[in-house]
Each structure stands twice: as C-alpha cells, then as structure tokens.
A and B are shown apart, each in its own frame.
Chain A
C-alpha cells in the first residue's frame, strides 16, 4: 500500500521586509501539506520569487523563535525572519 500523504493543515504566514515585497502581500492563510517550516518555505519559494535562502532566515512560530524542523499544526502562525537591521 502506498504511503499516505501528510494531512493538509491551515497555516497563517506573515511576511516582512524583503519577503513582503517579493510576495506582494503582508500575510495569507494557506492550506498546505508542509510538515515543518523548512518544507513550508520551500513550497513558498516555488510560488514567489524569494531571493533569500533559508540559511539567511530565522523562523518564528506563534510569535516565538522556533526551529526549521519543528512540526507544524493547523492554526499555527509562521513568520520567516530576514536578517534584521534596526537602529
């Protein structure tokens, strides 16, 4: 029997700075089979002309710094954080 595909989940993504410019939007709610932020970013890179590689980003899940490999669940809010430049 073939392996079952991962279930689809509803994830809210917010974009900042260069990612917002390149996505052409500040946030969206996606239905995705991505299991973790790494897969989610790969999926988004196929859709948008993102130039920043994941090595240059940090990830936040539900307004806390998170891990690229942490499992996502439906309702999570994900932010990919470009290199910061305040001050």
Chain B
C-alpha cells in the first residue's frame, strides 16, 4: 500500500499502525487530526475536503521520503480523508516508527506540518448559520471579500 494516500471512508488506526510495525523500532508516534466543532469563533457543523489527486499523492510521497531520510525512520505513513466529514471524525492520520522516540516524535510533527503546507488539499467549512467558506492555511476565510 502506498505510504501516502487518500481515503473516502473512515480510518482504522489499528490497521494503519500495523503497517509501520518493525521489530527494529523502539518508538512509534502518531498524529490524528479531527474535525472540530468551531473555528474563528463560528460554530462548525461539518467539513468538506477536496484534493488534487495525482499531484497531492506525489507531494505527500515526497514529504514521507524526506522524513525517512531526515529523521532516520524505519517507516512513515499518512492517510488523509476526502469528501464530507462530520464533527469528531478523523481527517488525517500520520504514523512513524523509529529506533528511538526522539526521531519518532520529531518526524511526526514535521510530517503533519509539511502536509498542511505543501499538499494540495482544501477544506470547506459549513457553519451552523447555513453559510460555508473555503479556508486559508491559517484557518481564516479564503474569500474574505466574497460571499461571507
């Protein structure tokens, strides 16, 4: 299975973790990104994720390759959801295994930051008042002058 991929169905962490297991590893770290019910003081009811498939997969693979050599990881995986997600659902999972915990912690943090910065994925927030809006990387509206 490809180390970086998209999923249209809910993520199962037990299965994902099995993929990074390695007997030479003493440390495993993972990050889960969840859909929260608020942003910028507005009540959020759901999130829609869109990804530019082929380019996003290539960029995601490149990030995991870089992480493996930068931190000396044994394995690194990332799965990101696309489509419509409810509050509380897991939107992204990152898991890494390494010989020691320092590399695992640092790499996990680095990977999620790079994914958010580089991979062409977008989220559209839907609000309790019926409005919706695409977000910038800092979680502010992408279209401040537009419909909002």
Chain A interface residues toward B at CB < 8 A: 14, 16-18, 20-22, 51-52, 60, 63-65, 79, 81-87
Chain A contacts for B119, CB-based, 8 A: 84, 86
Total chain B interface residues with beta-carbon distance under 8 A: 31
Chain A contacts for B135, CB-based, 8 A: 85
Instruction: Assess the B122–A82 pair: CB atoms within 8 A.
Output: yes
Chain A contacts for B115, CB-based, 8 A: 86-87
**Cα–Cα, bound, A83→B136 (Å):** 6
Chain A contacts for B137, CB-based, 8 A: 83-85
Which residues of chain B from 113 to 132 have any CB-CB distance to chain A below 8 Å in the complex? 115-124
Total of A-B residue pairs, C-beta within 8 Å: 79
**Cα–Cα, bound, A22→B134 (Å):** 11
Give the distance to chain B from A60, nearest Cβ to Cβ, in Å: 5
**Cα–Cα, bound, A17→B101 (Å):** 38
Chain B interface residues toward A at CB < 8 A: 33, 49-52, 54-55, 58, 80, 91-92, 112, 115-124, 134-137, 139, 142-143, 145-146
The 8 Å CB contact of A65, one of B49, B55, B121, is B55
Chain A contacts for B58, CB-based, 8 A: 63-64
Chain B contacts for A85, CB-based, 8 A: 116, 121-123, 134-137, 139, 142
